[in-house]
Each structure stands twice: as structure tokens, then as C-alpha cells.
Structure 1
Amino acid sequence: MPTAAASSCVSDAVNRRRGDLVELSHSIHAEPELAFAEHRSCAKTQTLVAERGFEITGGVAGLDTAFRAVYGSGPLTVGICAEYDALPGIGHACGHNIIAASAVGTALALAEVADDLGLTVVLLGTPAEESGGGKALMLDAGAFDDIAATVMLHPGPIDIAAARSLALSEVTIRYTGRESHAAVAPYLGINAADAVTVAQVAIGLLRQQLAPGQMVHGIVSDGGQASNVIPAHAELRYTMRALASESLRDLESRMAGCFAAGAVATGCEHVVDEMAPAYAELRPDAWLSAALRAEMVRLGRTPVPEEVEASVPLGSTDMGNVTQVMPGIHPVVGIDAGGASIHQPAFAAAAAGQSADTAVLEGATMLARTVVALAESAEQRDRVLEAQARRPS
């Protein structure tokens, strides 16, 4: 099938399913579910591809809300990641309903040309991106082993073709001291809340010496239960970010000293636990990003200039782990949120608005046409297949 015909075919396929895709986005948005508990959203994301004849495997990597849906048997296997977890308290303020619906649209469109282009299309349901690292867990469990390249998109306030992200790790720090009456015998207590205070003061002083791109943010998740009891237990949760994984490791080491300082100063014991797998920084594939950029422009979008893409402030994603292993992209598709950005209530409201619906449809079209371009370029097809063959088994 010629390039123009295949590209037109996938565009038409998305347009034919526009009602179903928008309905899917709105349905997921209306019932937000948190990390690893996205049971309704996971099931909804599978419905349309199941009807199309995709072979679905649930419980991937031992995760109840992860799945693989496969169509075709061509030698070039391309993955499309669907996210569907929401945020505590503010629902789909990161627009994962848009991600899931656009991923389904991409998969359905590529199914129309899979046989002609020698494709195997794999839709991956990836839970717990906000906290938990579903993709990292699935990657480690081998769910991506047969995939040569992976694509997905993310909504945001602007269009970014070759989006970057920060490396990230999250930890819980638990301090254990000894209770005592705060007035009768405070000298018999060991104050775990004081350990938290010392640690946070140390972190505040450390901020001046953080390297460019490094940042830390956290909360006190347990500071005691009664004001007249010296608290024996207190807890912090901290997120650390950096431009690259190597810089993140350095930051983690310095933060460990701050956490220890709280324990040393107060006499508490302390334990630091990782909350989830670390997220690596995104490494967008240059060719796929250029193809996606061309699709953005074709649809009348205005992606940020290439020379400033790396400087646009972004968060972190477990898709970074995937792009460290294989060619992949994670573009940002802009929606009108009235000036709001992700993780704000106004963005959650906008994620079910008209521009969000447009992002679902145009996003699916852009991703599908980018995969078509990859499949029809002998040079690029060989490149990703050869890279796959070189990956450690």
C-alpha cells in the first residue's frame, strides 16, 4: 500500500471511530481511579480493541490493571502505551483519559493497515504512572521485549514534538522514637516529629547547593496524633528529580544525609524505602520526533521550536525508562485549559472539553501516521529492528 494511501487509511479510521473514542475519554474521565486500582478504566480501554479482534492478555507483569492487546503478525512490532490512572483529590488533572483514548484510536487505526505494512500492533495498558511506575515494572517483567519501538502522547498546555522529562525517584522516610507525656515527662520521650523538622531544615539548606536541574519536594505524611504526646512515629515522603539519572543518583546520596541528620540529632531510628521504581529521563527518538512534528504542523498545530524543546519545564514519566531501552516518543499535545497546567483542577475540567476531544482524535491520527511512516521507510524500519536485535535478552 503506497504511503499516501496508508496514511489516509489510518486518518479515516480514526475519524470513523471519533464518537467511540471521545466517549471512551469522557467515560474514563468521569470515573477517576488511582494507581493500581484502575479496574474500570482498564476494562474500558480494552473494549474497542477487543471488538476489533485484538488478542488481549490481562494481569501483565503481575499487575491487575495492566494488559497487552495484540493485532497482526508482521515482523515490525510497535507498542502504543495507554495510561489511565488519576490523581488523588483532583481526578484526571493530568489528562490520562486523553492518553488512553488516543492510544486506543492509534491501535484501531494501525490495525487497518497492519497486514499491508508488516506490522504487529501492541496496545499496552500501563497503570500507575502518577505513582508506582507501571511501565518500569512491565519493562522489567519482559512485557516490552518483543517490541521494536513504542509511542504515546500526553496532553498539556502546549504542543511539544520531542518532549523531555526529568529522572525521578520517590522515597518514604519513617522515624521511630519513643512516646512520653509532653508535660509530665517529655525528657523520657524521643521525638520523631523533631527528626522530621531537622531533616526538612537540612533539605532547605541543601537547596542552595543543588546542581542545575535538580529539585526536591515532599510532604509530612505523619507528624503525630496528639499534641500532648511526644510522637514516637513520624513520616516524610519526598520526590527527587534531576535532568539525568546520574545526577539523580548524586542527589539521592545528598538527600540521604539530610534524612539521617534528623535521626542523629534526635536519637530516632530511621528507615528510607523506595516508593516505586525510579523513572529515567525521556530520550525521544530523533526520527520519530521529526515525523511527529511534521504531523503536528500538517494539522495546523504549532509545536515549540526544536531549539527550545529541551528547556521547556516538564515533570517525569515512566515512559522515560522505555525510551532508554528502545526508540520511542512521548509528545505533548496541547489543549485549551484557560491558562491552567497539568495537576491543577482547571486542567482536570478541561480534559473533558472540546479541545481535549480534538487532542484525542488528532493525537491518535498523528501517532498512527508516524508509525506508518516508520513502517514504510526501509531505512528506519531496519534501524529499529536492528536496534531491537542488539538489546540484551
Structure 2
Amino acid sequence: MSAGRWYGVAGAAVGEWRDRLVALSHSLHDEPEVAFAEHASAAKLAELMRSAGFKVTEGVCALPTALTAEYGDGDLTVGLCAEYDALPGIGHGCGHNVICAIAAGAAIGLKAVVDRYGFRVKLLGTPAEEIGGGKQLMVERGAFDDVTVAMMAHPGPIDTAGVRDSTQACTRFEVTYRGRPAHAAGAPWDGVNAADAATVAQVAIGLLRQQVPPRSRIAGFVRSGGAVTNIIPEVSVLDYEVRAPDIDQLDALRRRVRDCFTAGATATGAEVSFRQAGPDYADLRNDPWLMETYGAHLADFGRTAVVLPLGANSASTDMGNVSHVVPSIHPMIALRGAEAMPHTHEFTVAARTTAADEAVIDGANLLARTAIDLARNSTRRAMYVSAR
């Protein structure tokens, strides 16, 4: 039977579940939950996958909102990553409701063909992508050990399928200065000003920015820095992140930024401490063959990939961590007609439109076709299987 016939079988399964997949996307959008608190979202995905005939395991990797849904058997395991955490104050401004429904749809489409090609489908419900690095925690705890390739598709204003498309490595941390309070008018010389330490550090970072590589980023804010004007601030707390093109450059820039915070402590006499806010995010490495295969199917859905300049994507994702251990792809699928960029209120609106619903179905079919092509290609399949 030709590949086109099996694309049709998978597509028919996706079509049969279209209303339920779109309903899942809408329901997640209507009830946004932030990192590690996606209890209702994970439950909705688990319920859908059970009803589709998958073996569902909730709370995997000691993460209450992580799950797996598995079907089939064979030497090849296709991993499909489903994200469902939202952004504080913005909701699904990154379209994770769409990502989740795409992954579920792709898994359901592939379930219809696994017996023909003897492979296994494993959907991984991965919490805390926005902050917290859920995928890295699942990598460390073995969830990807049996996965041969991993795939997902992320909504955006354009379609992409560039082999060299990447994301930035990222680290996030909390900085706390502790000083000594004093009366700001009566005896300010007795105090150690923790807020001043934060100011010195931010000035140093501002000067550092002019000398960092063009694709690096430093961002942050002061979460607390005093309570009233007549008391020298005893504690100040800052949240910061550093981004760079890859892990090696991230490590180098992180050291320089930490030195700026140490300078604030040295200048004021305050004590400084650092707390990592979650796992580092690695740069994304798209697998060339998988991405080219994905891109070859775009035209069948009236889509054309936009070629991005090298290094154009300054976002970060924990899918980058997965891509360092498992051949992976993370293309962008367009919400056609949307102009807003993710992480905006406008994109939140776009993620619950007919264009978003269309992206759910197209994305599910595109990932399913990519997996079918791998399963059918005995040479390529053996190469990936042996590499694991």
C-alpha cells in the first residue's frame, strides 16, 4: 500500500476526532493553568487519550501534572510532546492549548497505522515549559529513555521548517541581597542598603550589555526592594534570566552576570545569594531528516515555510533539552491571519480562533505523516533505532 494511502488512514482518524481535539484546545484555553499547576489540563488530556484507546499513566517522573499515553509495539517509538501550561496573567499567549491538541491528534492518527508498520506511539504530557523545565526533569527521570524520535509543533504567525532553526539556551535565577535596616533619617550610616546593592548590579549589567554578543540577552526585574522610605532596605530580591545561542556561550555569560551581582554586594557590604529557578534550557537542535520530511508535506495543506535568518529566534524552550538526547523537531505552524507574536494578549486571542483550530488538525496530520515516513523508511528507521 502506498504512503499516500496510509497518510489517508491517519488523516481519517484525525478527522474522526476533529471535534474532540478542537474541544480539548478550547477547554485548555478557557481554563489556563500555570507551570506545575496544570491539574485540570493534564486530566483533560488523559481522559481524551484513554477514550482513544491509549494506556495512560498519570503523575509520571514524580511530577503530578506529567503523563504518558502509549499504544503499539516495536523497535521504533515515536514520541509526541504535549505542552499545556499557560502564562501568568496572559493565559495561553503561547498557544500551548494548540500544541497539546496537535500532539493528541498526531498520536490518534498514528494509532491507526502502527499495526501496519510495527511501531509504538508515546505521547508525553510535559508540564512547565514556560518556566520550570518540565521536559528536562522528565529527561533526567527516564521518560525519554525509550523514545526513538521526539516531535511537536508550536503555533505562531508563520510556518517554519528550517533545519537550522534554533532557539536560545537560557538560565533563570533569583538573586537575594541581605543588608541591615536603619532609620533612613536618624542613622542611615548604621544600615547596609540591600536596594542599593541591586542598583549597583543593574548598572553593571546595563554597561555589560553593550559588550555581549548580538544574540545574547539579559533580562530581569526587582521583585522587592524595601517597604517604606524611612527604613534602609534590609532585603532586595531580583529575578533574572540570561540567554545565549548555545549552552557553552550561556555558561560564559552567566559567569559575567553573576559577577555584576557580586559587585553590588561588594560595593554596599550586603550579602548576596543565588537560587536557580529551574533547569537550564538548552539550544534547540532540529534533526535534519525529520525536519526536511515535515517540510515536504506543508504544501499539501496549503502552507509554505518561511526561511528565517540564522539565529532569528530568540525564544527558549525545554524542547531544546530533549533535542540534545533524542532526534527531535520543533517547527512552527501558522495561525493563518494572525499577526501577533506569542506572549502577548493578542496571541492569546488568536489561539482560540478558527485559524488555531485549523492548525490543530493540520499540525496533527503533518507530525503523523513525518512519523509514517520514518516508519516506512527501513534504512533511516534502522539508523535512528540503532542510535538509541
Determine whether 1:378 maps to 2:378.
yes
Q: Give the Å deviation of 1:309.
A: 5.0
Match of 1:262 among 244, 261, 264: 264
Q: Distance in 2 between matches of 1:40 and 1:369?
A: 30
1:137-148 alignment, distance < 5 Å: 137-148=137-148
Structure 2: gaps of 5 or more residues: none
1:39 maps to amino acid: H
Once the two structures are overlaid, the 10-residue window that deviates more, 290-299 or 126-135, is: 290-299
| Contact 1:60-1:67 at 8 Å conserved across structures | yes
Q: Distance in 1 between matches of 2:309 and 2:70?
A: 33
Q: Distance in 2 between matches of 1:289 and 1:158?
A: 16
Number of residue equivalences = 386
Counterpart for residue 190 of structure 2: 188
What is the CA deviation profile of residues 142-161 of structure 1, one whole-angstrom value per residue up to 9, with x for unaligned ones?
A: 11001110000111111111
| Contact 2:167-2:311 at 8 Å conserved across structures | no
Once the two structures are overlaid, the 10-residue window that deviates more, 114-123 or 19-28, is: 114-123
SS of alignment partner, residue 210 of structure 2:
helix
2:151 maps to amino acid: V
Q: Distance in 2 between matches of 1:118 and 1:39?
A: 33
Q: Distance in 2 between matches of 1:337 and 1:129?
A: 26
1:294-313 alignment, distance < 5 Å: 294-305=296-307, 308=308, 310-313=310-313
What is the CA deviation profile of residues 74-111 of structure 1, one whole-angstrom value per residue up to 9, with x for unaligned ones?
A: 22111100000000101000000000011100111111
Q: Distance in 1 between matches of 2:296 and 2:312?
A: 20
SS of alignment partner, residue 71 of structure 2:
strand
Q: Give the Å deviation of 1:61.
A: 1.4
Counterpart for residue 17 of structure 2: 17
Q: Distance in 2 between matches of 1:309 and 1:362?
A: 25
Once the two structures are overlaid, the 10-residue window that deviates more, 146-155 or 177-186, is: 177-186
Cα pair distance change 1:338/1:373, threshold 3 Å: closer
Q: Distance in 1 between matches of 2:195 and 2:296?
A: 54
| Contact 2:177-2:271 at 8 Å conserved across structures | yes
SS of alignment partner, residue 81 of structure 1:
strand
SS of alignment partner, residue 204 of structure 2:
helix
1:71-150 alignment, distance < 5 Å: 71-150=71-150
Counterpart for residue 327 of structure 1: 327
Counterpart for residue 31 of structure 1: 31
Counterpart for residue 232 of structure 1: 234
SS of alignment partner, residue 57 of structure 1:
strand
Once the two structures are overlaid, the 10-residue window that deviates more, 289-298 or 361-370, is: 289-298
1:330 maps to amino acid: H
SS of alignment partner, residue 6 of structure 1:
helix
| Contact 2:245-2:311 at 8 Å conserved across structures | no
RMSD, aligned CA: 1.1
SS of alignment partner, residue 168 of structure 1:
strand
| Contact 2:215-2:311 at 8 Å conserved across structures | no
Q: Distance in 1 between matches of 2:223 and 2:80?
A: 35
What is the CA deviation profile of residues 163-204 of structure 1, one whole-angstrom value per residue up to 9, with x for unaligned ones?
A: 411001001101000111211221111111111100000000
Q: Distance in 2 between matches of 1:91 and 1:155?
A: 15
What is the CA deviation profile of residues 195-216 of structure 1, one whole-angstrom value per residue up to 9, with x for unaligned ones?
A: 1100000000000110232111
Aligned-pair identity in percent equals: 49
Determine whether 1:203 maps to 2:205.
yes
Counterpart for residue 318 of structure 2: 318
What is the CA deviation profile of residues 236-279 of structure 1, one whole-angstrom value per residue up to 9, with x for unaligned ones?
A: 11111111111001001111110101100110001111101001
SS of alignment partner, residue 180 of structure 1:
coil
What is the CA deviation profile of residues 4-42 of structure 1, one whole-angstrom value per residue up to 9, with x for unaligned ones?
A: 221111111111111111110000000000000000001
Q: Distance in 2 between matches of 1:101 and 1:175?
A: 43
2:235 maps to amino acid: H
Q: Distance in 2 between matches of 1:363 and 1:336?
A: 13
TM-score normalized by the length of structure 1? 0.96
Q: Distance in 2 between matches of 1:309 and 1:148?
A: 29
| Contact 2:215-2:314 at 8 Å conserved across structures | no
Counterpart for residue 391 of structure 1: none
SS of alignment partner, residue 69 of structure 1:
strand
| Contact 1:93-1:344 at 8 Å conserved across structures | yes
Once the two structures are overlaid, the 10-residue window that deviates more, 35-44 or 176-185, is: 176-185
Cα pair distance change 1:127/1:157, threshold 3 Å: same
Q: Distance in 2 between matches of 1:350 and 1:376?
A: 36
Q: Give the Å deviation of 1:312.
A: 2.6
Counterpart for residue 171 of structure 2: 169
SS of alignment partner, residue 79 of structure 2:
strand
Counterpart for residue 160 of structure 1: 160
Q: Distance in 1 between matches of 2:336 and 2:272?
A: 45
Counterpart for residue 46 of structure 1: 46
Once the two structures are overlaid, the 10-residue window that deviates more, 308-317 or 148-157, is: 308-317
| Contact 1:74-1:115 at 8 Å conserved across structures | no
Counterpart for residue 255 of structure 2: 253
Q: Give the Å deviation of 1:337.
A: 6.0
Q: Distance in 1 between matches of 2:175 and 2:281?
A: 19
Q: Give the Å deviation of 1:114.
A: 1.1
Q: Distance in 2 between matches of 1:201 and 1:71?
A: 55
Q: Give the Å deviation of 1:310.
A: 2.9
What is the CA deviation profile of residues 285-343 of structure 1, one whole-angstrom value per residue up to 9, with x for unaligned ones?
A: 000000111111221111113xx353432400000011111111000001146421000
Q: Distance in 2 between matches of 1:254 and 1:337?
A: 42
Q: Distance in 1 between matches of 2:79 and 2:216?
A: 31
Q: Give the Å deviation of 1:387.
A: 1.0
Structure 1: gaps of 5 or more residues: 389-393
| Contact 1:337-1:346 at 8 Å conserved across structures | no
